[in-house]
Amino acid sequence: MRIKLHVWRQSSRSDKGQMETYELDNVIEDMSFLEMMDTLNEKLTVEGKEPVAFDHDCREGVCGMCSMVINGEAHGPKSETTTCQLYMRHFDDGAEIFIEPWRASAFPVVRDLVVDRSAFDRIIQAGGFVSNHSGPKPDPNSIPIEPNIAETALDAATCIGCGACVAACPNGSAMLFTSAKASHLGLLPQGQPERFDRAKSMVSQMESEGFGSCRNYAECEAQCPKGISIAFIGRLNSDFLKASLVEPIDRRGDMKAQ
Amino acid sequence: MLTLDSKIPDAPIEDAWTFHKNNNLRLVGPKNRPKYKIIVVGSGLAGASAAASMGAMGYNVECFCFQDSPRRAHSIAAQGGINASKNYRNDGDSTWRLFYDTQKGGDYRAREQNVYRLAELSTSIIDQAVSQGVPFAREYGGKLANRSFGGVLVERTFYCRGETGQQLLLGAYSALEEQIAAKKVKMHTRHEMLDLVVVDGRSRGIVVRNLETGEITSHAADAVVLATGGYGNVFYLSTNAKGCNVTANFRAYRKGAGFANPCFTQIHPTSIPASGDYQSKLTLMSESLRNDGRIWVPRDPDEKRAPRDIPEDDRYYYLEERYPRFGNLVPRDVAARNAKDVCDQGLGVGPTGYGVYLDFAAAIEEKGIDAVKSKYANLFEMYQRITDDDPVETPMRIYPAVHYTMGGLWVDYNLMTNIPGLYAVGESNFADHGANRLGASSLMQCLADGYFIIPVTIGDFLSRHESGEITTDHPAFQETETAVKERINKLLAVKGTRSAQSFHRELGKIMWEHCGISRNKESLEEGLRKIPALREEFWRDLKLPGNPDELNQSLEHAGRVLDFLDFGELMCRDALLRDESCGCHFREEHQTPEGEAERNDEEYAFVSVFEYKGEGIEPELNKEPLSFDALPLAARNYKT
């Protein structure tokens, strides 16, 4: 296959960046998209040019590291597929392909296609956990969980934190990501004690990171490589509303003080 | 000569861990814990659980990972499940059973007290994970579900669909993030450890490179915990993530830590084969497929027909013919060796000739298409996504792939290496899996180490030393930083014509050919000649674009490839010295008439621990003898 690539090149956070064009004529249909990028980088290296920086790691669709907007869609044209699981057979011979980084003000570009997604970690720090220490715990079967609820929690927990939802959203909202974690924990008995605090603090962190608000475009769900449902956003909104209607009482400070 | 004191407690194996905690281990009081700084390198299951647990105890923890978030670590890709001897099925499981299965699976090349402790802690791991909100599969009544896994007779594997590793890692990650929010753990993402700092024989800190800015910095600590995973990527093609590397462990080895059993590499029989030279990694297909698939290759090496058009008589069902009793269900290592054997004879299928058919036609005819599909739906979908072939219409192609490395840094019962203050947890140590790891045991080991062992054992070391004795002002840090920078500059100065990637590929081929599925003396010796030649060429012809003071993925890769080159040599050396077959280590010279591994317990019932002696000097082999008091040695037999 012959293909023409237009790739975003940006040397650092402060660089303005621009698209550059490359042609590859030895692409094979069974190559993964990232193997095609490896081939491009090998070519650039041998020619003495700088290869394209991009994030990737597991290359089996689960680590959430790969992150490319391909022809305007996060992770490319195939639904429920990460960039690393996309294959060149999904493109035509002679295709022109545009490759850009995630575009969102909360995800600044670090270099070329690499962006800074640390805002996601900070949203989790705001409450995406069950407060816990390591040590003896009750036997799990002492708290039965209805299998459907456990499965729905797992549907939400399947989020790989790649950030495609943000890249896909015209508002750059992180509500799908935030609601997936809040719902995973909020559905399970272990997550109940902190459920409403969690909803409030995660949403507030999301806003302070510069992510936009949800306007129900549903592009996030359409481009999510794990098919996370926007129903979780509704769930989070409901928890957030309930939490907001209650006068906040902060006893945590007293409880922890010794 | 290394001092290898395994610190095994002097108590019956069933009570050893409790005895050790009560009688041998000193504690650090809660007021003093914040004074001690602990560095954790790696944020996978072992690293994240260790950092979170020690942070929650009050220690001053700093955690480093090379990815952009601790949640990316490759533990996330584990599919099948995690073992625990809960005995929820009432099928006779117990701590002892799990201990026995693990030790037998490892072909009696592990330290039995460590293995027993692992089995003992297995149940607490499930309790811990559930308390974090890990959504394990449940039965209709809401109780935890189990499934069975290879090599055992009980159902003790807990799972979350095919993404158990992901859910357990996200549990550990959220615990870690909780401690980061509480300012008990400081996280450094996109930082790679490039060397260990040792002062007067004690581990005092690390030197890291900020992968975004290229800045080299020193970090001092009272103890360093390496949780840096396995080294399967020495083969270039493996099921590991692209970033997995041996650098942290190998740098520690060069600073005096013993490297144990480097040649023990587990090869999984059923992965999707490489489709060409551009292939960058291999994807695993669950072994359960062998329950319903028949494995075959065409009898004629020049066969051109599509697989469905090849009549029965022209098909070679080699496992069924060679092993009539077990057929397609022979153990992993036997299946892997036979696949390589038929492909080496030129009978392999697919574009590279390194693949065999796994055919579901008979199962579909017998059980119906829906029954087969419902059992393997997600695997069929995954296969089709990668290969564009529908396994219902045409047989799958599979081939063995490097999957897990049992070898690692030598550690004592406290998980401390022979360098005081340096610990290794998870896949980066050698401790629990002997010569072969049982399915669904890797997650268990990482979490036992991180949640329950290291938080207790590290206090014993710290309580015996003052905190903060040495800071980064000590000249040893400056010297190490200088050495790290010199190495980087030397790599950039080669200015040859070949990319680091091309050297890595070539090294992988050498390792696969000479130190892969089966090994023999001549071939290993040839490997030991080829690797230094390749390293020489690397130093002569490496081409590295870019600068050291920016995000430079080629530079990162080149440093890792260089360590793999040195490490590959160590692996071949170990494989050559271990003149027996055991577990995954199959020396062709030592096999039973049925082609099974033949152990030599008289001479090789020891852990091989290699000691670095300097650049270009042969490392010294140290031996930790293994004793088998609780579980007498027996042949590994899965036939009766």
SS3 B138: strand
Assess whether A105 and A137 both reside in one domain.
no
Assess whether A90 and A180 both reside in one domain.
no
User: What pLDDT score does B332 carry?
Assistant: 77
**Which two structure tokens, joined as six digits, stand for B18?**
């409790």
User: What pLDDT score does A258 carry?
Assistant: 46
pLDDT digit string (tens) for B512-521? 999 999 999 9
* Helices vs strands, H then E, count in chain B: 17, 19
How many structural domains is chain A composed of?
2
Whole-number mean pLDDT of chain B?
Answer: 95
Assess whether A130 and A245 both reside in one domain.
yes
Assess whether A124 and A252 both reside in one domain.
yes
Active site (annotated) includes residue B332: yes
Which chain B residues are Cβ-neighbours of A136 within 8 angstroms? 124, 127
What ipTM describes this predicted complex?
Answer: 0.96
Share of chain B above pLDDT 70, in %: 99
**Which two structure tokens, joined as six digits, stand for B618?**
């042969």
CATH value at residue A248: 1.10.1060.10
Assess whether A97 and A19 both reside in one domain.
yes
CA dist B624 and B90 (Å) reads 38
Residue ending a domain, among A69, A93, A111, is A111
CB B134 within 8 A of CB B84: no
Residue ending a domain, among A65, A93, A111, is A111
SS3 A84: helix
CA dist B504 and B568 (Å) reads 11
Q: Is residue B639 pLDDT above 70, yes or no?
A: no
CA dist B365 and A181 (Å) reads 43
| Domain ranges, ordered by start, for chain B | 268-402, 475-599
**Which two structure tokens, joined as six digits, stand for A131?**
């407060």
A65: nearest CB among B72, B132, B283? B72
Q: Is B616 exposed, middle or buried (0-12, 13-18, 19+ CB in 10 A)?
A: exposed
- Within 13 Å of residue A38, how many CA atoms lie on the same side as its CB? 23
A59: nearest CB among B49, B280, B502? B280
CA dist B551 and B562 (Å) reads 19
Which chain A residues are Cβ-neighbours of B56 within 8 angstroms? 132-134
CA dist B595 and B589 (Å) reads 11
Assess whether A160 and A63 both reside in one domain.
no
Q: Name the residue of chain A whose CA is nearest to B180's CA.
A: A125
Assess whether A70 and A143 both reside in one domain.
no
Please name which of B404, B425, B416, B365 lies closest in space to residue B46, comparing C-alpha atoms.
B425
Question: How far off is chain A from B190, nearest CA to CA, in Å?
Answer: 10
CB A84 within 8 A of CB A60: yes
pLDDT digit string (tens) for B63-99? 999 999 999 999 999 988 899 999 999 999 999 999 9
Q: Do B551 and A151 touch (CB under 8 A)?
A: no
User: What pLDDT score does B636 carry?
Assistant: 64
Assess whether A10 and A61 both reside in one domain.
yes
State which H helix or E strand residue B193 sits in: strand B191-199
pLDDT digit string (tens) for B194-204? 999 999 999 99
CB A107 within 8 A of CB A134: no
Residue ending a domain, among A111, A126, A161, is A111
CA dist A56 and B52 (Å) reads 25
Assess whether A171 and A106 both reside in one domain.
no
User: What pLDDT score does B291 carry?
Assistant: 80
Q: Is residue B399 pLDDT above 70, yes or no?
A: yes
CB A156 within 8 A of CB A232: yes
Assess whether A125 and A105 both reside in one domain.
no
**Which two structure tokens, joined as six digits, stand for A226?**
């794990």
Assess whether A79 and A153 both reside in one domain.
no
Q: Which residue ranges in chain A fall short of pLDDT 50?
A: 257-258
User: What pLDDT score does B209 carry?
Assistant: 98
Q: Is residue B125 pLDDT above 50, yes or no?
A: yes
Q: Name the residue of chain B whose CA is nearest to A85's CA.
A: B386
For residue A9, what are the domain limits?
3-111
Assess whether A156 and A238 both reside in one domain.
yes
DSSP letter for A107, please.
S
Largest distance between two CA atoms of chain A = 69
A57: nearest CB among B72, B166, B278? B72
What CATH code is assigned to B268-402?
A: 3.90.700.10
Please name which of B380, B345, B359, B358 lies closest in space to residue B273, comparing C-alpha atoms.
B358
Q: Do A57 and B124 touch (CB under 8 A)?
A: no
Q: Do A140 and B52 touch (CB under 8 A)?
A: no
Q: Pick the catalytic residue from B71, B204, B294, B332.
A: B332
Q: Which one is the CATH code of B475-599: 1.10.1760.20, 1.20.58.100, 3.10.20.30, 1.10.760.10?
A: 1.20.58.100
CATH value at residue A26: 3.10.20.30
**Which two structure tokens, joined as six digits, stand for A103?**
């575009």
Q: Do A42 and B387 touch (CB under 8 A)?
A: no
User: What pLDDT score does A257 carry?
Assistant: 47
* Lookup result for tokens 């090849």: B310
**Which two structure tokens, joined as six digits, stand for B9?**
């407690």
CA dist B533 and B386 (Å) reads 36
Q: Do A132 and B276 touch (CB under 8 A)?
A: no
CB B257 within 8 A of CB B419: yes
- Sequential DSSP letters for B362-385: HHHHHH-HHHHHHHHHHHHHHHHH
**CA B336 and chain centroid, separation:** 18
Q: Which residues pair with A56 in a beta bridge?
A: none
pLDDT digit string (tens) for B291-316? 889 999 999 999 999 999 999 999 99
Sign of CA dihedral B321, B326, B327, B328: negative
User: What pLDDT score does A256 carry?
Assistant: 55
Q: Which residues pair with B187 in a beta bridge?
A: B63
Q: Name the residue of chain A whose CA is nearest to B128's CA.
A: A137
CA dist B152 and B150 (Å) reads 6
pTM above 0.80, yes or no: yes
Which chain B residues are Cβ-neighbours of A89 within 8 angstroms? 388
- Sequential DSSP letters for B304-353: -S-GGGS-GGGEE-HHHHH-TTTGGG--HHHHHHHHHHHHHTT---STTS
